[in-house]
Amino acid sequence: MFTHIDANGNASMVDVSKKNDTLREALAEGTITLNKEIISAILENKNKKGDVLSTSKIAGIQAAKKTSELIPLAHNLNLTKIEIDFFIDKKNNAINCKTLVKCRGKTGVEMEALTAVSVALLTIYDMCKSFSKNLIISKIILLKKSGGKSGNWSK
């Protein structure tokens, strides 16, 4: 059953007005594969465009807050926490991004966590594309979510 389609088959925002407010959390992650030169430039803060990871973290936070403007049927949420962490994998020339998003509300924050990861990784791409266009964003997934009627879920 598709919750975003009404009885006539039209797109429709889900009515959550009768749901109880609960603590909602979602954890998502994704990866960008770069190259050794780019990883070194990021670690040594030698990118001409500035501090790649700080800028990408801010971009991810802004994206989470604007998810309802980007995803047409997503609800506008009062987010209470957005945490973005980067883990550099020198062996594989990659950066893993994890995001945790929280709110107390009537609907979940999975889309906000996934949007934050996506935009944070896109920002890394944008800031590093002058080094190489052969950058790969991959494995953007929801790891777990909690709260609401459906309860807890984890991959």
* Start-end of H helices in 26-151: 36-43, 52-65, 67-70, 110-128
* pLDDT given at position 2: 64
CATH number for the domain that contains residue 93: 3.30.70.640
* pLDDT given at position 14: 75
What's the pTM? 0.92
Number of domains in the chain: 1
Task: For residue 48, give the amino acid letter.
Answer: K
Question: Is 87 a member of any domain?
Answer: yes
* pLDDT per position as a tens digit, 57-71: 999 999 999 999 999
Question: Is 56 a member of any domain?
Answer: yes
Tokens 């777990």 sit on residue? 144
* pLDDT per position as a tens digit, 31-50: 999 999 999 999 999 998 99
Please give the residue range of the domain that contains residue 132. 22-146
Question: Is 14 a member of any domain?
Answer: no
Region 103-123: mean pLDDT is 96
**pLDDT exceeds cutoff 80 at 87:** yes
- In order, the DSSP letters of the chain are --TTB-TTS-B-----TTSPPEEEEEEEEEEEE--HHHHHHHHTT--TT--HHHHHHHHHHHHHHTHHHHSTTPPP--EEEEEEEEEEETTTTEEEEEEEEEEEESS--HHHHHHHHHHHHHHHHHHHTTT-S--EEEEEEEEEEE-STT--EE-
Question: Is 91 a member of any domain?
Answer: yes
| pLDDT tier, 19 (very low <50, low <70, confident <90, very high otherwise) | confident
Question: Is 17 a member of any domain?
Answer: no
Question: Is 10 a member of any domain?
Answer: no
**pLDDT exceeds cutoff 80 at 82:** yes
What amino acid positions are annotated as catalytic residues? 126
Please state the separation of Cα 57 from the chain's center in Å: 10
Please state the separation of Cα 129 from the chain's center in Å: 20
Comparing CA positions, the residue from 30, 115, 120, 121 lying closest to residue 74 is: 115
Percentage of the chain modeled with pLDDT above 70: 94
Question: Is 83 a member of any domain?
Answer: yes
Question: Is 6 a member of any domain?
Answer: no
